[in-house]
């Protein structure tokens, strides 16, 4: 279809004229905005989840393998009875170690029996040698007692020397017997220590085997632990290390909220600030509370992200145990600033992008204003405006 160039030019001219006639303020023809005195609050919304203030922590046990593989895990949120199985870790390595230690204990016990047998043989040999030397001393003593007139002087001297040698040999044999007895006792004690060490290692490893199965210490609801950096619940096949919380039994008598504060809002939330919590599962029943603590160190929320958050603990003033359960998502509305008698200007009537901020009165004048703080609807003004001033909307 061919358009008449004159008609097209008229349309372009009309559009340009209309654009030139557009006022610099989009709300030029709208109702004026009044500056009033009253209360104003500034809010910051955090996300968090319900948790129990007190709970029994079930942690991975300490073993020689350091890391353990979760072989079985109770269902998250399941009701359990005292003694019920909650978590089981892979025990293949521990069972193999028990078999090795059991063999070491048997070998150590056999080594004690062998040492005792060796001691008995050595002591028997030394005791026989002592008896032999005693007999030699007795014979030499009889020879020495032979009257001198019956033997020559040389034979008498030899008898005395033989007695002296026999007595020395007896003393040596007696010393060797005592040394053999003491040495045998020491060797047996060494073997006994090795046996006790192997026995303790076996008992400790058997205790580790029992610790690889975590059971409920009391009746309650089990909450599966979170993976430390993947932002999910633990699953079968995940690795755990000593001291890591793999499950817990919460106490529902006292509940709190654990929230996260973005690092860009550092300093805006302080302990003692009042909050209003809305549980996603029960939005019709908001809960009041206050900021109990703010972790001074920001931590990464996950392994693959650079975003960092401060951990915030919110204590609830009144909570319904029937409604709250650990893990429920919560929105935490924190009142960060408030003023009961402030000069409040509608935010739509302020140009906050300029430096300093400005406001346009209905008479066409632009005035500089000093802003204390703002919320989504208005700003607390400390200078530049007066109560009752009328503003025109700023685009």
Cβ distance 209 to 101 under 8 Å?
Answer: no
**Cα–Cα distance between 244 and 227 in angstroms, integer?**
10
18-51 residue pLDDT tens: 333 334 433 444 688 899 999 999 889 999 998 8
Phi, psi at residue 235, to the nearest 5°? -135, 165
Beta-carbon contacts of residue 89 (< 8 Å; ≥ 6 apart): 60, 61, 68, 69, 70, 71, 212, 213, 240
Of the candidates 192, 54, 6, the residue with the CA atom closest to the CA atom of residue 115? 192
**Chain centre to alpha carbon of residue 112:** 45
What does the DSSP 8-state code read for residue 249?
E
Q: How far apart are CA 9 and CA 279, in angstroms?
A: 60
pLDDT per residue as tens digits for the range 212-244:
899 999 998 898 988 887 878 899 999 998 889
Residue 253: C-alpha distances to residues 53, 76, 222, 372 (Å)? 9, 20, 15, 42
Report the alpha-carbon distance of residue 206 to residue 95 in Å, rounded.
8
CA nearest to 244, candidates 79, 61, 53, 119: 61
Q: How many whole angstroms separate alpha carbon 50 and alpha carbon 31?
A: 45
For residue 67, give Cα distances in angstroms to 71, 74, 143, 228.
Answer: 13, 20, 81, 14
Would you kindly state where each structural domain of the chain is located, as residue ranges? 93-211
Question: Do residues 255 and 53 touch, judged by C-beta distance below 8 A?
Answer: yes
- Architecture (CATH level 2) of domain 93-211: Orthogonal Bundle (1.10)
Q: Is 130 helix (H, G, I), strand (E, B) or coil?
A: helix
Q: Per the confidence metrics, is the pTM higher than 0.75? A: no
Residues of the chain under the 50 pLDDT cut: 1-29
Q: What span, in angstroms and rounded, lies between the C-alpha atoms of 372 and 349?
A: 16
């Amino acid at each position: 279809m061919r358009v008449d160039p004159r008609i097209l030019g008229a349309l372009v001219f009309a559009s340009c004229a209309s654009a030139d006639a557009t006022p610099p303020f989009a709300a030029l023809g709208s109702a004026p905005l009044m500056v009033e005195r009253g209360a104003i609050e500034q809010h910051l919304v955090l996300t968090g989840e319900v948790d129990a203030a007190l709970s029994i922590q079930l942690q991975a046990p300490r073993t020689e393998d350091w890391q353990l593989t979760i072989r079985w895990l109770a269902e998250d949120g399941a009701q359990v009875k005292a003694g019920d199985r909650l978590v089981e870790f892979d025990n293949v390595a521990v069972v193999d170690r028990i078999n090795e230690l059991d063999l070491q204990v048997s070998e150590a016990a056999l080594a004690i029996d062998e040492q005792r047998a060796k001691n008995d043989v050595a002591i028997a040999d030394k005791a026989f040698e002592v008896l032999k030397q005693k007999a030699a001393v007795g014979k030499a003593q009889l020879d020495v007692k032979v009257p001198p007139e019956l033997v020559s002087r040389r034979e008498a001297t030899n008898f005395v020397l033989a007695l002296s040698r026999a007595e020395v040999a007896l003393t040596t044999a007696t010393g060797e017997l005592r040394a053999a007895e003491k040495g045998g006792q020491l060797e047996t004690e060494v073997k006994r220590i090795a046996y006790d060490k192997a026995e303790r290692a076996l008992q400790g490893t058997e205790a580790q085997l029992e610790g690889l199965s975590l059971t409920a210490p009391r009746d309650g609801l089990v909450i599966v632990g979170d993976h430390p950096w993947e932002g999910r619940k633990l699953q079968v096949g995940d690795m755990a290390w000593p001291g890591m919380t793999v499950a817990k039994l919460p106490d529902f008598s006292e509940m709190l909220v654990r929230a996260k504060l973005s690092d860009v809002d550092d300093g805006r939330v302080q302990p003692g600030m009042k909050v209003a919590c809305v549980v996603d599962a029960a939005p019709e029943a908001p809960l009041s509370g206050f900021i109990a603590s703010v972790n001074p160190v920001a931590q990464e929320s996950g392994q693959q992200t650079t975003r960092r958050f401060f951990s915030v603990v919110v204590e609830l003033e009144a909570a319904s145990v029937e409604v709250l359960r650990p893990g429920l998502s919560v929105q935490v509305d924190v009142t960060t600033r408030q003023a009961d008698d402030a000069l409040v200007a509608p935010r739509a009537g302020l140009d906050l992008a300029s430096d300093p901020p400005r406001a346009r009165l209905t008479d066409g004048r632009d005035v500089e204003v000093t802003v204390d703080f703002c919320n989504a609807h208005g700003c607390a003004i400390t200078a530049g405006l007066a109560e009752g001033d009328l503003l025109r909307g700023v685009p």
